[in-house]
Every structure is written in C-alpha cells, then in structure tokens.
Amino acid sequence: MMPTIPVDPERRRQVAAAMRAVLPDRCVLADPEDTRPYECDGLAAYRQLPMVVVLPDTEEQVLAVLKVCRELHVPVVPRGAGTGLSGGAQPLADGVVISTARLNRILRVDAYSRSAVVQPGVRNLAISEAAAPLGLYYAPDPSSQIACSIGGNVAENSGGVHCLKYGLTVHNVLRVRVATIEGEMIELGGAAPDAPGLDLLAVFIGSEGMLGIVTEVTVKLVPKPAAAQVIMASFGDVASGGDAVASVIAAGIIPAGLEMMDRTSSRMVEPFVKAGYDLDAAAILLCEADGTALEVAEEIERMAAVLKEAGATALTVSRDEGERLRFWSGRKNAFPAAGRISPDYYCMDGTIPRKRLAHVLERIEQMEDTFGLRCANVFHAGDGNMHPLILFDANQPGELDRAEAFGAAILALCVEVGGTITGEHGVGVEKIDSMCVQFGARELDAFFAVKRAFDPEMLLNPNKAIPTLNRCAELGAMRVHGGALPFAHLPRF
C-alpha cells in the first residue's frame, strides 16, 4: 500500500495555467473536487490525487499537452475508462492525467476490409455494436467490455472469454496512431498485415502507457458465427476440473470459450444473475462451441465425451440463445458479485501452463489456511489465465497486508510452475515487485532500453510496469556483487 503524496499547490497553478493556454477551459481540471474521481482505477486500494487532469478533444490537443509536459518536465499518466486492475492509470502527485474520454468517435466500420477505425476512448462493446448490422464483431471481450476503452485494451493487451480461439488484443489490432512524448505522430502497423521491419506494433501493445498516447486504433472485425452453444460441466473437486481443461485442449479442440468457476464463485454470483449454475459442484467449466450449426453439434458432442471421460459429474448443454447468454452472464458478472460476500476483494492475474492448473488450484486452497483469507477462483481456464479473487475486509487491521502477501505468493507460484505474473491485467503498480521475481537484470535492461527509445526523459507513466534494479535489490530479489548493482547506467527513481 503506497502512502498518498500531497500535491504542491504552486506547481499545480503553474501547470494548469500552461494547459489552459493550449486547451479550452472545460478540458482542464485542477480543483481537487474535480480531480478526485481520477484518484484511482479499478485497483481502488491504491489512491493518489492527480496534480492536473486534462481531457483533450482532438489529436492536435493531445500533442499540445505533451509538448507542455515536456517543456515543464511533468510526468504524464494516460487514462481510458479507469477499469484497469493493476493501477496503470493511477495518478502521480506531480503528474498530469490525460483522459481519452472525449476521444470517443467511431471513425469508420468497413465490411470489405473487415476492420474498424476508432478513437481510443471508444468502449470495447461499442465497436461490436457498431459492426453488428454488418454481421461482424470485435472478438476480444474483456468482462469489463461495457465500460473499458479500446485505448486501455491496447495498453494492457486485454483478453477475454473468446480470446482462446480468436486471440488477444495483439492479434486483433492492425494499426495504431500514437502521439509521442517528443511531440510527433507515428503509425505502427498498417491496413495490410505483416509490415516489414521490427514489429513495433507488437512491442507497443501491452506497453501500459509507457511509450506513447494512442490516438487512433484500427481493429480487425470477424463474422458473427451462425450458431453457438455452451456446455456447463460439473466436477466434484477443483483438481479434476483443472485436469479436464488440459484434456479438452489435448483432444485437439479449441473451444470458443473455456472458463472455470469454483463453488465460492458460482455461489456468490447465482443469487445476483440467476444463471442456473450447479451450486453443489466444487467447480464448473463453461465450454463453448461456435461455427455453423453442424460444426457446433459435432464439437459439443466431442467436448461432452472428453469432459465425461475427465470425470464430469453432470453436463448441461444450453438449449437456446437465452440460456447460453445466461451462462456467460454469470461468468462475466463474477467480479462485481464478489462485493456481495466480501467488503473488499483483490483480483490476481497470473498465467500458468494448463497442465499445472490442478496443482496450482490445490496450492491456492492450502494458502487460504496459511493467510487466513478466502479465495474465489473464476478464470480463463483454456488460456491457463488464473484470476484468484482474494476476499478481505480493509477495515480489519492487517487484512489488506495479508491479502497482498497472499497475492504475491500466488504470483510466485505461477512463476515456479513455468508461468507468468500477469495474463491480461498488466503490471501497473500492483505487480511491479513480482517483476523482480520473474525477470533478471538483463531482461529489465532490455525493457528500459525500449522505454528510453520512445521516452528518453522517462515522463510517460513512470514507476509503473518495469521495476528499477534498486527496487529489486531492496526486495532481495536480485543478486548484488560486491555491493555494486549490475547495469549501473539504468534509471534509479
């Protein structure tokens, strides 16, 4: 938990005045009453009042804001819808938040190239809604899709239920326009796939606002499948559910969605959504098939056989579109439903090899005793992307600290079994220390080299996503020779 830092009023007056010289008054917020709503993102336990918030209307205004920030040496925090769960959009006491809320126009939806060109503040779901009359949609579907912005999705390389089959954001974005801190517009990627040269588009996607401000995104659209059905499979213990996930993929099936919920999760969401979940099962799997009616029927039959063989105690296949959507609506509302059974929750996001799911779920169960806190598991099982929800009460002394220690232990376990400390929520401020567990000095050196190439003065979202070597050394997570850190030239904030 980071202490809140007071904003220097004199500096705020100076920066706000400089912003008002390049933006209309209504686009600059400096009064604490107005900037308070921006003090956190979805990681609400971490809060910091920003110095100034700006809401540009145009790309030219974004460039003008960046020019002021460079001249006054003010750090910049980009912000989309603020649904991020790792504190990526968390403000800085001496920084300017650039919100993309007003850059929210869908510029083009094109059936011929199956693509859409949108501004960064457009909501994820709004793209699919705009493409629906053409029989198309944008496949990556984070559970937050009614609220989160495409700019935030690009910065986090967001995933969702359908990403197992259709790919993550990085597989569905063709091109981005970016305002650099140097005050220039650059375009990465293009309308045609596979541009020559280094793949800077892939480097940029998932860079958490550290390399530039996205001002326009071209996304791929895919045809809406003619049919879809989902199986709800019940299991008597979470480990068999975990093994069944590996069995489905090993059978050569790539379901359109393959998600798991343990009993704590299904029981917390059922009274809220009435999805029709099997509340006696220790775990349920939701396995979706999509395609033509014939393809769906065949895949449902194959998946049912594999799931039975893997020990499923009951199988329910959605009978109509209404039931299919209800099954998914329970899954998509699981995070907010945690609020029904616990005052606070801490959502972790680690990815592991699928075949280790059963082992990791059992170890998390043991950790519940070690840390004295409950944990609900609801996650993208097909991708091995775990989302343990650690339930706690921040008003009880010591519970937040225990929740954070529990989360860090889960991420260390993910790395131990060959996985990684984040699947889709990013590193932000939340997982910055866990980066020291996963990466050594040479990898961190390479990350900073890329950052310096885009942002030599380290003004864009500083102190997020990549830990300094000092920080790792202080945590005891890095080897120090003779008192000297390796790569002494790297920035030490």
Ligand X SMILES: Cc1cc2nc3c(=O)[nH]c(=O)nc-3n(C[C@H](O)[C@H](O)[C@H](O)COP(=O)(O)OP(=O)(O)OC[C@H]3O[C@@H](n4cnc5c(N)ncnc54)[C@H](O)[C@@H]3O)c2cc1C
Summarize as ranges the residues that interact with ligand X (CB under 6 A). Answer: 41-42, 77-85, 88-89, 100, 120, 142-144, 148-149, 151-153, 155-156, 158-160, 208-209, 213-214, 335-336, 424-425, 461
Q: What is the nearest approach in angstroms of ligand X to the Cβ of residue 372?
A: 26
**Which CB, 41 or 399, lies closer to ligand X?**
41
Q: What is the nearest approach in angstroms of ligand X to the Cβ of residue 142?
A: 3
Q: What is the nearest approach in angstroms of ligand X to the Cβ of residue 380?
A: 7
- In terms of DSSP bridges, do strands 96-99 and 76-79 run parallel, antiparallel, or are they unpaired? parallel
Nearest Cα residue to 258 out of 290, 282, 292, 281: 290
Q: Nearest 5°: CA angle at 93, between 87 and 94?
A: 120
Q: Nearest 5°: CA angle at 86, between 406 and 74?
A: 135
Q: What is the nearest approach in angstroms of ligand X to the Cβ of residue 335?
A: 4
Q: What is the nearest approach in angstroms of ligand X to the Cβ of residue 426?
A: 6
**Which CB, 44 or 132, lies closer to ligand X?**
44
Q: 108 with 66: CB under 8 angstroms?
A: no
Q: 487 with 466: CB under 8 angstroms?
A: no
**Which CB, 100 or 468, lies closer to ligand X?**
100
SS3 451: helix
**Which CB, 13 or 340, lies closer to ligand X?**
340
User: Which residue matches tokens 């904030």?
Assistant: 493
The neighbour count for residue 59, using CB atoms within 10 Å, is 17
DSSP string across 251-306: TT---SEEEEEEHHHHHHHHHHH-----TTSSEEEEEEEEESHHHHHHHHHHHHHH
The H-or-E segment that residue 317 falls in is strand 314-317
**Which CB, 159 or 255, lies closer to ligand X?**
159
**Which CB, 86 or 229, lies closer to ligand X?**
86
**Which CB, 161 or 284, lies closer to ligand X?**
161
| Distance of alpha carbon 183 from the chain centroid | 28
| Distance of alpha carbon 448 from the chain centroid | 21
Q: 427 CB contacts (<8 Å, ≥6 apart)? A: 86, 88, 208, 421, 434, 435, 464, 465, 466
Q: What is the nearest approach in angstroms of ligand X to the Cβ of residue 135?
A: 25
**Which CB, 78 or 467, lies closer to ligand X?**
78
Token representation of residue 262: 């343990």
Q: What is the nearest approach in angstroms of ligand X to the Cβ of residue 102?
A: 12
**Which CB, 102 or 302, lies closer to ligand X?**
102
Q: What is the nearest approach in angstroms of ligand X to the Cβ of residue 252?
A: 26
Q: What is the nearest approach in angstroms of ligand X to the Cβ of residue 329?
A: 13
Euclidean distance between CA atoms 19 and 253, whole angstroms: 54
| Distance of alpha carbon 465 from the chain centroid | 13
Euclidean distance between CA atoms 145 and 24, whole angstroms: 30
